[in-house]
């Protein structure tokens, strides 16, 4: 299994500002995923981030709003830009297991935008 940590665990931010969320994995992984979970809702995939290539964004998510970095095989960042209250969510990173069957998730970053 993979152990994933995220920073910060939670934050309260003002409208119009940006927040960068960090995701650190204890092993080298090729594929990392970023999900959003709005209050009371299920998870929605934002983008897939492979090391050495541009992130692939899902419908409804754009790079200008959610820029992603993937500098190496153990680390990624997701930035939530020009935040509005609608961005208040839990943001989770995830990696694929070695067997390619399972995925492992970080604990999430709880973001509140005021």
Partner 1 sequence: DAKTTQPTSMDCAEGRAANLPCNHSTISGNEYVYWYRQIHSQGPQYIIHGLKNNETNEMASLIITEDRKSSTLILPHATLRDTAVYYCIVRVRGVNNAGNMLTFGGGTRLMVKP
Q: Which residues bind partner 1 (CB under 8 A)?
A: 4, 30-31, 33, 42-45, 48, 50, 58, 92, 94, 96-97, 100-108
* Smaller CB separation from partner 1, 15 or 102: 102
Residue closer to partner 1, measured from CB, 17 or 63: 63
**Residue 36 to residue 42: CA distance in whole angstroms:** 8
CB of 104 to partner 1, least distance (A): 7
Indicate the residue among 87 and 108 with the shorter CB distance to partner 1: 108
CB of 16 to partner 1, least distance (A): 28
- Residue 91, beta-bridge partner list: 36, 109
Long-range contacts of 86-89, Cβ-Cβ distance < 8 Å, separation of 24 or more? 86/113, 87/111, 87/113, 88/38, 88/39, 88/112, 88/113, 89/36, 89/37, 89/38, 89/39
Smallest gap from Cβ 85 to partner 1, in A, equals 21
Which 3 state secondary structure label does DSSP give 65? coil
CB of 59 to partner 1, least distance (A): 12
What length is written for the chain? 114
Q: Give the residues across from 23 on adjacent strands.
A: 6, 76
Identity of the residue, 79 or 103, whose beta carbon is nearer to partner 1 in the bound complex:
103
């Amino acid at each position: 299994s993979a152990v994933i940590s995220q920073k910060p665990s939670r934050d309260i931010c003002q409208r119009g500002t940006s927040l960068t969320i960090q995701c650190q994995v204890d092993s080298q992984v090729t594929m990392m995923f970023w999900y959003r979970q709005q209050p009371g809702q299920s998870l929605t995939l934002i983008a897939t981030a492979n090391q050495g290539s541009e992130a692939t964004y899902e419908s409804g998510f754009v790079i200008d709003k959610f820029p992603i970095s993937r500098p190496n095989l153990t680390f990624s960042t997701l930035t939530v830009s020009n935040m509005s209250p609608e961005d208040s969510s839990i943001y989770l990173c995830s990696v694929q297991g070695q067997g390619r069957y399972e995925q492992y998730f970080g604990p999430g970053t709880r973001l509140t935008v005021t």
